[in-house]
Amino acid sequence: MEEDLTAKHPHAVRTRFELAVGRMMDAWLTAGRVEVSADDVKLAREFLELSGWRVEEAGHAHLRLVHRDGRSEEVTREAAVLTALRRCATRR
């Protein structure tokens, strides 16, 4: 079966987070758990902010995610990265 590769345009990568997601997920699978570095959190924060969210430090290794409608939630850094990952997956 032939497939016309020019019929579908690839998703435009707009952030460094989108480039790093594959590396992050490979590391999680290898480790058997979700472990995020300070750089991973920085990339996820940048992605969320570019997506219209506000990200604030909340202390004790937590972040406050403020949605566009004003709702907010306090999450761990790992949860913030996973939130960015889910947001990234729904944009495609």
Tens of pLDDT, residues 6-61? 777 666 767 899 999 999 999 999 999 999 999 999 999 999 999 999 999 998 98
Per-residue pLDDT band for 70 (boundaries 50, 70, 90) equals very high
Q: Residue 3 domain-assigned?
A: no
For the question of whether the overall pTM of this predicted structure is more than 0.75, the answer is yes
Classify residue 37: in a domain, yes or no.
Answer: yes
Q: What angle (nearest 5°) sits at the alpha carbon of residue 83, between those of residues 88 and 74? A: 150
pLDDT score, position 48: 96
The answer to the question of residue 70 being in a domain is yes
pLDDT number for residue 63: 97
Residue 77 φ then ψ, to 5° = -65, -40
| Confidence label for 85 from pLDDT (cuts 50, 70 and 90) | very high
Estimate the share of the chain in helix, then strand, then coil, as percent rounded to the nearest 5.
50, 15, 35
Structural domain containing residue 25: 16-91
Domain count, the chain: 1
Asked whether residue 56 is assigned to any structural domain, the reply reads yes
